[in-house]
Each structure stands twice: as C-alpha cells, then as structure tokens.
Amino acid sequence: MDGPIIEVKNLSKKFGTFEAVKDVSFTVNKGDVFGFLGPNGAGKSTTIRCMLSLIAPNSGTIAIFGKNLANHRSQILNNIGCIIEKPDFYRYLSAEKNLEIFARISGRDSSKKEIQEMLEFVGLDGRGKDKVKGFSHGMKQRLGIAQTLLHKPDLIILDEPTTGLDPQGIIEVRNLILRLKTEQQKTVLLSSHQLSEIEIIANRMVIINKGKSMIEGSVDALVNEQDLLLQINVSDYQNAMQAIELEFPALQVKHLHGSMIEMAVEKEMVAKMNYFLVNKGFSIHSLEPKRKLEDFFMKIIQE
Amino acid sequence: MLLRNTYNEFIKIIAKPRSYIGLGVLTALIFVILFAMKADGTSFVSFVTASFEQTLSFNGNILNGNLIAFIILQMLIVHIPLLVALVTGDLISGEAAMGTIRMLATKPISRTNIVLSKFIAGAVYTLILTLWLAFLALVVVKWMFGTGDLIVLNSSGLIILQEQDIMWRYLCSFFVAYLALLTVSSLSICLSAFAENSIGPIVSTMGIIILFTIIGSMDVTVFDSIKKFLFTTHMASWRSFFEDPVKMKNIWESIVILVVHNILLVAIAIIKFNKKDITS
C-alpha cells in the first residue's frame, strides 16, 4: 500500500485523573524500523496498547494500513505481529503448541513445517517440544518474536523487546529485528527507553516524554544535527588548549585527564581541528569525536 | 474465529493439571461413599427407615444402586460447584495473571468471541464433570450394588419408585443438575472478567453460592420475594423428578430461571470484557 503504515493523530488517554498520553501524533512509513523512544513512564506502552486495541483512547485517531482502527480492528490486527513488554505464554504447553494456538487465532493454521522453520529462524530449533515453563527470559523473547512472525504480518510492533535480557540476548534480539527488515522487508515499530538501541536499529524515530510526542524524524538527521564531543589526546596539552582558545575563541576546551582534552564542536570542525593542531606542531595520539546522544536525549525530555 | 478459539480453549483445559482435580476428587468422593455403603450401608438405611418400620414392612434390596446414586447426587451436588469454579473461574483471570490475555486480545478475534469461546469450553468441561458423575453413579454403582426400587424421603413423606420408573428420572435430574452447574460456570466466568488473578473469582463464586444458599434457607419474610430468583434455590430442582407426581411446573420455572441467569451472566462478562482496558 502507498502512504503511511501507521498514522497516529492527537492520541490522548487518561487513567482516572492521570493523563498517560497527551495529544501524541506520529507517522510510520512502509519499510521503516521506527524507534519509539522515551524514558520509563513516558506513555510508550499506553500508546502501543491503544494501537493494538488493548486500551480504548479518550480521543484521537489511529489509522493502520490506511484504515481506522476503531472500525477495522480485526482486519488490521490480522496483519500485525506484536510483543507487548514481555511475551507471555501458556507455561504448561510446549513452544510448538503455543505457536500453534496463537497462529490459529491469527487467522491461519500453521503447518508443523512452518512452525519448525520459525523456531529455527529465532534459534529455538530442537526446543519446540519443551514446555515454556522451562524457558529462560531470552528464549521466551525469541519465542515471542516467532509468534509475531508466524502468521506473516506486514507490521511488527515490539514494546521494549530487550528488557531483562543479558548482553548476549540483547544482541541476538537486535540482530533478529535487523533481519526482519533486511530479509523479510517488514515494517517494525520498536519501543525502547535506550537511545543507543534506537540508534543502532531504527531509521526513523519519535521521542515521547510525559505523554507527549516531543520530536519526530530520521534518526541520522536528529542525531547528526547535534554537536559532537571531540576528545583529543595531544602532546603538550596546556599549550594546545591555549592555541585552540586563541584560534577558536567560541570553543570551550576542557582538560579531562592526563593529556586528554575535550570540546564540543560541529561535525565539520573535527577535520579542521586535526589539521590545525598538526600544523601547530602538536602530536596527536588519538582523536575521537563522540555524538552527544545522551545529552540530546536529556535535552529533549527536559524540555 | 469463535470455533478456532474454542478449540484452543479445549487444548488449554486439557493441558492444565487443575482440570483433572475435579474428576479425581469426584471419583475419590464417590468411592469413599461406596466404601461406606458397602461397609455399613444397612445401618445407614435403617436409620432412615426406622420411623416407618412400625407402619410399613420393607422387603427386598433397599440398599441398591438406585438409592446410592440418589445419595451420591444429593451429597455431591453441593460440592461440585467448587470443582467447576476451580477451572472456569480461571479461564479469563488466569490469562490476565499469566499475561497471555494481552497476547490473545491483540489477535484478530473479537473480545465477545473470546468470552463466548471460554463459556463454551467451560460448558463442555462442566458437562464432562456431570457425565462422569452420571457414569459413576448410574453405571459403576449399579454394577456394584445391583438395581431395585428406590425409596426417597422428602418433605411430603416416603415415596417408593419402581425400578422401571427410575432411569428417565435420573436422566432428567442430571440435565437439570447440569443446568445448575452451568450457572455456576457462567458466574465464575463472569467474575473472572472482573479479576486479574485466579483465586478471586473462585473464592467469590463459592462466597456467592454460600450467601445465596443461606438467604434461601432462612425463614424470614423479608427474603421471601427474592428467594425464587436466586439460582441456588433452583440448584436442588433435580430432586423434583423423584416426586410422584412430578411437579413439572416447578421444574420448568427452575429451568427458565437458570437459563436466564446463564444469559445474563455471560452478557455481563461480555460487556465488562469489551470495556476493559488491558493493562496487565
């Protein structure tokens, strides 16, 4: 289909007097891995639950695949696979049986072969007959991804899919999400409170805080328009700092430790600074431009 | 989609260990009653018939399968609701506690169909429990104790029903007993739609049954007008089939009230579940 896959407009939801979501709007295009970023309690899960009709919004509209969710719920959900917070399964049933059950109410009966292939895709081959109660959190997360994909949906919604996973599990789940985009051309909406995670996986994102959408756009554009933190390990750092301050009076240069100095610069300034210091006869042992991701995120959520 | 999810519900009930507790407990209770009757049934029967022995003479096998089936039905119909609620009270709230309700509600099945499929699955489970009770009471007991005329003591006195006039009464009794248990199943599913844990609906169902039973048994004028609308009043309507003549008007009234209860309870569960924000 042409046009956006998800279009959320002016969504609001109150629980009693608490306004969990206030006027949230954003758009997800076909083929996006869309980051839904915000600190804990920002309203991400509530928004996602509204998009999956788990929670009824107080106002606003949600259109998915060009159709209004309120009027075409079943048709829309038929083409969505999702994990909300953590995938929960029938503990007393095997992984295969769980997948069979969820596929059946997703509108299609999956063959044993399809279930096996899906278990293999998520790295759970050979564990299909095991009861879910014996599975680790990481295995459940992978089974959750298998469950989202089994009925071959076009849109995948993952709410904090790496929460509670060990570092290896996080990498595995991230790789799985990237494979969904590259191998299966799925559109993915990924909610997370970790900026680094969104930066690695997503191409577009919205930042949500205190129930409001703060900023939306391409991840690269949003991140690159911010200053970089340039850390330089340079010989004779005191003279180097003086030289920099004389040549670039607008820059605030800070001594970190040893012969390491740091300054906030624009992207174009990195090469210029390198050239300047070498020309002045300083030896550069290392030069590392760091994006001020966390600062950027904090700035947005503190607005 | 309703049939697909109903099939899923059966798979879940079959796989859950608690589903077998009811069948196991029922079997154990019946065998305890059978053991007691085999060991000391004669004195039990004498205790009941003692007051009539000066005016009546009892011949033949009074302690037969028909009498024991009646005793079993009378004793267990009070306790089976707990066994029913144990499974049906968990059908919606158990999924909320486990978190699977979230997964279920994001699938392309309407919430109404989710509740209806659980009601159908609960109804089938209750039917299986009732049929198991009927099998043990009518087949196993008769095989062990033989058959004969049935002596029933009720409010109007002692009734003797002939052997060939009994089986249809039992079949109709089990049908009405099933309807009463189905109401318990609907009640616990209804309560389950309001709860987020398994224990709450099970305990609440039993609490309501106890409360209604006490109200029904209290001889107080203030409760007279509501007594006939309480489903617990009609849970013992199966006994009416062992009167002579059978008071069909009363039985039909009970059937209507129980059916209306079932419809109302399922409707409340559907409305509640449809309006519920799933936040678990």
> Going by C-beta distance under 8 Å and a sequence separation of 6 or more, which residues neighbour residue A213?
A23, A24, A25, A26, A206, A207
Per-residue pLDDT at B50 exceeds 70: no
> With bands split at pLDDT 50, 70 and 90, how would you rate the model's confidence at A171?
confident
CATH code of the domain containing A273: 3.30.70.340
CATH code of the domain containing A173: 3.40.50.300
- Give B185 to chain A, closest Cα distance, Å: 22
* Crossing angle between the packed helical segments B111-135 and B65-76, to the nearest 10 degrees: 150
Residue A168 lies inside a defined structural domain of this protein: yes
Domain final position from A183, A216, A249: A216
> With bands split at pLDDT 50, 70 and 90, how would you rate the model's confidence at B273?
very high
Question: Are A90 and B100 within 8 A, CB to CB?
Answer: yes
Residue B37 pLDDT: 86
Residues A80 and A134 in one domain: yes
Q: A18-28 and A67-68 as β-strands: parallel, antiparallel, unpaired?
A: unpaired
Query: Cβ of A202: how many Cβ atoms within 10 Å?
Result: 23
Domain final position from A216, A242, A257: A216
Residue A294 pLDDT: 63
For B99-145, how does the pLDDT look when each residue is reduced to its tens digit (9 = 90+)? 899 999 999 999 999 999 999 999 999 999 999 999 998 898 888 88
Residue B198 pLDDT: 83
Tell me B276's DSSP state: -
Look up residue B138 and give its two tokens: 């009518």
Residue A276 lies inside a defined structural domain of this protein: yes
Residue A56 lies inside a defined structural domain of this protein: yes
Biggest CA pair distance of chain B: 71
- Give A190 to chain B, closest Cα distance, Å: 16
Residue A244 pLDDT: 92
More confident residue, B58 or A70: A70
Whole-number mean pLDDT of chain B? Answer: 88
Residues A206 and A279 in one domain: no
Please give the C-alpha separations between residue B113 and each of A70, A105, B3, B110, B271, in angstroms, as whole numbers: 17, 11, 9, 5, 12
Residues A36 and A166 in one domain: yes
Per-residue pLDDT at A292 exceeds 60: no
Residue A113 pLDDT: 87
Residue A249 lies inside a defined structural domain of this protein: yes
In chain B, what residues touch A101 (CB-CB under 8 Å)?
A: 8, 11-12
Q: Rounded CA gap, A203 and A222, in Å?
A: 10
In chain A, what residues touch B100 (CB-CB under 8 Å)?
A: 88-90
DSSP states of chain A: --S-SEEEEEEEEEETTEEEEEEEEEEE-TT-EEEEE--TTSSHHHHHHHHTTSS--SEEEEEETTEETTT-HHHHHTTEEEE-SS----TTSBHHHHHHHHHHTTT-PPPHHHHHHHHHHTT-TT-TTSBGGG--HHHHHHHHHHHHHTT--SEEEEESTTTT--HHHHHHHHHHHHHHHHHH--EEEEEES-HHHHHHH-SEEEEEETTEEEEEEEHHHHHHTS-EEEEEEESSHHHHHHHHHHH-TT--EEEEETTEEEEEE-TTHHHHHHHHHHHTTPPEEEEEEEE-HHHHHHHHHH-
| Identity of the residue in A56, A84, A89 whose CB atom sits nearest the CB atom of B277 | A56
Residues A241 and A127 in one domain: no
- Give A104 to chain B, closest Cα distance, Å: 6
Residues A232 and A298 in one domain: yes
Over range B243-260, report the average pLDDT: 91
Domain final position from A180, A195, A216: A216
Residue A225 pLDDT: 66
What is the pTM assigned to this prediction?
Answer: 0.83
Question: Are A78 and B108 within 8 A, CB to CB?
Answer: yes
Q: What is the dihedral of CA B267, B269, B271, B272, to 10 degrees?
A: 160
Residue A54 pLDDT: 93
Strands (E), chain B: 150-154, 157-161
C-alpha Rg value of chain A to the nearest Å: 24
For A232-251, how does the pLDDT look when each residue is reduced to its tens digit (9 = 90+)? 999 889 999 999 999 999 88
Domain count along chain A: 2
Residue A1 lies inside a defined structural domain of this protein: no
Per-residue pLDDT at B195 exceeds 60: yes
> With bands split at pLDDT 50, 70 and 90, how would you rate the model's confidence at B220?
confident
For A180-237, how does the pLDDT look when each residue is reduced to its tens digit (9 = 90+)? 888 888 899 999 888 778 888 888 999 888 888 888 888 877 776 667 788 999 988 9
CB of B1 within 8 Å of a chain A CB? The answer is yes
Residue A175 pLDDT: 85
Residues A199 and A238 in one domain: no
Please give the C-alpha separations between residue B187 and each of B53, B190, B264, in angstroms, as whole numbers: 45, 5, 9
For A64-93, how does the pLDDT look when each residue is reduced to its tens digit (9 = 90+)? 999 999 999 999 999 999 988 888 899 999
| Identity of the residue in A80, A93, A105 whose CB atom sits nearest the CB atom of B1 | A105
Pair B133, B26: CB distance under 8 Å: yes
CB of B21 within 8 Å of a chain A CB? The answer is no
Range of the domain at A144: 6-216
Q: What is the ipTM of this complex?
A: 0.82
Pair B209, B266: CB distance under 8 Å: no
> With bands split at pLDDT 50, 70 and 90, how would you rate the model's confidence at B27?
very high
Where are the domains positioned within chain B?
2-275
Per-residue pLDDT at B2 exceeds 90: no
Residues A200 and A275 in one domain: no
3-state SS class at B148: coil
The residue count of chain B comes to: 280
Residue A247 lies inside a defined structural domain of this protein: yes
Interface test with A, best of B95, B100, B103, B196 (most A CBs within 10 A): B103
Residue B39 pLDDT: 85
Residues A258 and A182 in one domain: no
String of b and e for B6-45 (b: at least 16 CB within 10 Å)? bebbebbbeebeebeebeebbeebbeebbeebeeebeeeb
Nearest to A135 by CA among A86, A178, A83: A86
Please give the C-alpha separations between residue B67 and each of B138, B175, B212, in angstroms, as whole numbers: 10, 19, 28
Q: Is the dihedral of CA A147, A152, A157, A161 positive or negative?
A: positive
Whole-number mean pLDDT of chain A? Answer: 87
- Give B195 to chain A, closest Cα distance, Å: 16
Question: Are A104 and B109 within 8 A, CB to CB?
Answer: no
B245: cis peptide before it, omega within 30°? yes
Residue A127 lies inside a defined structural domain of this protein: yes
| Identity of the residue in B5, B8, B99 whose CB atom sits nearest the CB atom of A88 | B99
| Identity of the residue in A74, A90, A147 whose CB atom sits nearest the CB atom of B108 | A74
Q: A155-159 and A80-83 as β-strands: parallel, antiparallel, unpaired?
A: parallel
Residues A200 and A297 in one domain: no
